[in-house]
Structure 1
């Protein structure tokens, strides 16, 4: 009985506090017991894999059920959220441009090449997005193609709006069942994060990051500035109230887990549950959150811009203001095509480098540098991307639903 009470207490406990404890224990475990930490990798792999496995099914069922049960006259707020996504990503790219010129960084390029299939131009990125729309629904779920999943879920949801009450009830029950599975998976977060951080500390430490300290400082500073200054300003102009309670809650409950999973797609279940706790409109967040995991990529825009301009400074290519602005636009559009998986933004660096005439061989070496620092870069990038999905969804939803009550609704 005592063991049952212990497990029940853990299940009802504060998840964020449990994750912090797991983080601290993981660091200590990685430092003092590196071999045992390596052996614990299966726990982190299981946790991340479970999130990635359940997310496509959750998005498909939830979006389809929400649209099928949508009643005429009920408001959804996708357009303003999309506008915030684009504005936030472009603003992040501008911040990265300014920081890169204020603190120019050069690279010691390595000789090894990265054998990755990367897009060579913006047309290829847009073509890939269009083709993803018409992907086979089964293949879209299997490969976590969220653009394809959303398109099929929306089409089927619209088709099922005229279905009978029994069919809609089945869809609602299916959505609730999948949501319950997600809750069970998320309760594993403290163990998963314990394993992920222990393996990272045991495997890499921080030694190999020292050579790229200046580059990392620029990258992380840009992302922190976007998270703590730019995003709050955008939210303030949307809700006309103190944005920081919402900003800090999104960073604590979404950004924290995203930092360790390093996957916007894997963090979709976490974001959906956070939106539910915030009391947002389900018809809105069930679409905007998976969509944001695909196209809302402020962190990716920072990574693309900073690393591209580092390559430009390395080879002494002069850059004027119009070209820098064009790079910001290119990074914004390209970031929308960045995959919601670890390292997705790095594969778009050759595309941005092509704007300055930097060849693919040199660009591939820049990608290699990105992979070396990805232990920190990709974690911070994903935390910014994923927490911003909830932040902008909540800002638009609260502002449109009931502006006068927005501040009390988002309070911690």
Structure 2
């Protein structure tokens, strides 16, 4: 007797997760085109998936970082320092790309500027104060509000303290970390269904009609992000690894960037990046810290968004600005953006700060923020995809580069 052929569901389960996500993406697009009203009802599925990721991410980061530090053996090599350097280098490179593109292809916005006096309010100190308060936040509050800066601070502190505890305590912490990781894997298995709901409901509700009026601005924004993802980042990775960077770049964009594009949250994509880092064979003590850290400080996409939108306002108002000043603006704003990162639209909150450095008042700056939310259907999705995929890319590049360097010296 011949064996029965596998069912459609069984065939889908045998496919890779990325292939399943692509199928969910195409199915969402088809449903939005064929039955928009039905597609709108799938928003709940997407919300459940994103909420599950956001729910598990804070406790995952807290437990994983604490367990990694507590079980870290003396003399064991980690590569956090070169990863931090790549994060800063990548953000600065993205800022430069955004400045050059904004100068070459200046964008104009429709802003209500009558009866508005241009003054220069301060703002950077307030953002830095907020950042410091996030570090010393109550640990329960940090976990409840997904304040990853505070979570990292407490996890590192607890991890260092538990290093002096008994072996049994550290083993329990390691088992707890494994348990949380298993829950994360279960959540990620539902990514294709979640992406289907997000795509179908977003296209059916928003469509792309509202984006036509901002086609030039979007072209500059998305062009910068594509250039950084496909040219600038590969150059940085090649400098670190001295070999063809594109297999690693494409893998990170495909397996991290796709989910980040639709969840629109670096925090929600942390579990996805941790799972990818494990599959790449990276050192757990390194990526368990660098991935959540990257979700808060690796802000290449934010640097592009803040720079392009702010310089669009500057061009609209006819304010003269030189390139060094524009680069300084984007770097300062991107560094400060770590206080507003990890959530959808987080970089837009820094536009008033960036505009204030050019003497543009909040009345006009908030209009620029409104423009950002209008184009956020694509802008924020592309920004998050760039930010989150780069977290894994630079972590992998630094780890592999340092390991190869050690092998050459051995």
TM-score, scaled to structure 2: 0.94
CA contact under 8 A between 1:219 and 1:302: conserved in structure 2? yes
1:324 corresponds to which of 323, 326, 344: 326
Distance 1:64 1:260, change over 3 A: same
Distance 1:21 1:405, change over 3 A: farther
2:22 corresponds to which of 8, 13, 20: 20
Alignment of 1:209-358 (within 5 A): 209-358=211-360
2:169 corresponds to which of 160, 167, 170: 167
CA contact under 8 A between 2:306 and 2:334: conserved in structure 1? no
CA contact under 8 A between 1:297 and 1:338: conserved in structure 2? no
Task: Give the gaps of 5 or more residues in structure 1.
Answer: 112-118, 407-412
* Structure 1 residue 126: Cα displacement: 1.4
> Distance between the aligned counterparts of 1:94 and 1:184, measured in 2?
40
Distance 1:110 1:17, change over 3 A: farther
- In the alignment, which residue of structure 2 is the partner of 1:56? 58
- In the alignment, which residue of structure 2 is the partner of 1:193? 195
Alignment of 1:139-150 (within 5 A): 139-150=141-152
* Structure 1 residue 324: Cα displacement: 1.8
- In the alignment, which residue of structure 1 is the partner of 2:133? 131
Equivalent pairs counted in the alignment come to 399
- In the alignment, which residue of structure 1 is the partner of 2:90? 88
CA contact under 8 A between 1:110 and 1:368: conserved in structure 2? no
2:363 corresponds to which of 361, 364, 381: 361
- In the alignment, which residue of structure 1 is the partner of 2:378? 376
- In the alignment, which residue of structure 2 is the partner of 1:116? none
RMSD of aligned Cα (Å): 2.0
CA contact under 8 A between 1:120 and 1:350: conserved in structure 2? no
TM-score, scaled to structure 1: 0.93
* Structure 1 residue 332: Cα displacement: 3.0
CA contact under 8 A between 1:81 and 1:392: conserved in structure 2? yes
- Secondary structure of the 2:244 match is coil
1:389 corresponds to which of 360, 366, 391: 391
CA contact under 8 A between 1:239 and 1:403: conserved in structure 2? no
Task: Give the gaps of 5 or more residues in structure 2.
Answer: 114-120
Alignment of 1:68-107 (within 5 A): 68-107=70-109
Distance 1:7 1:149, change over 3 A: farther
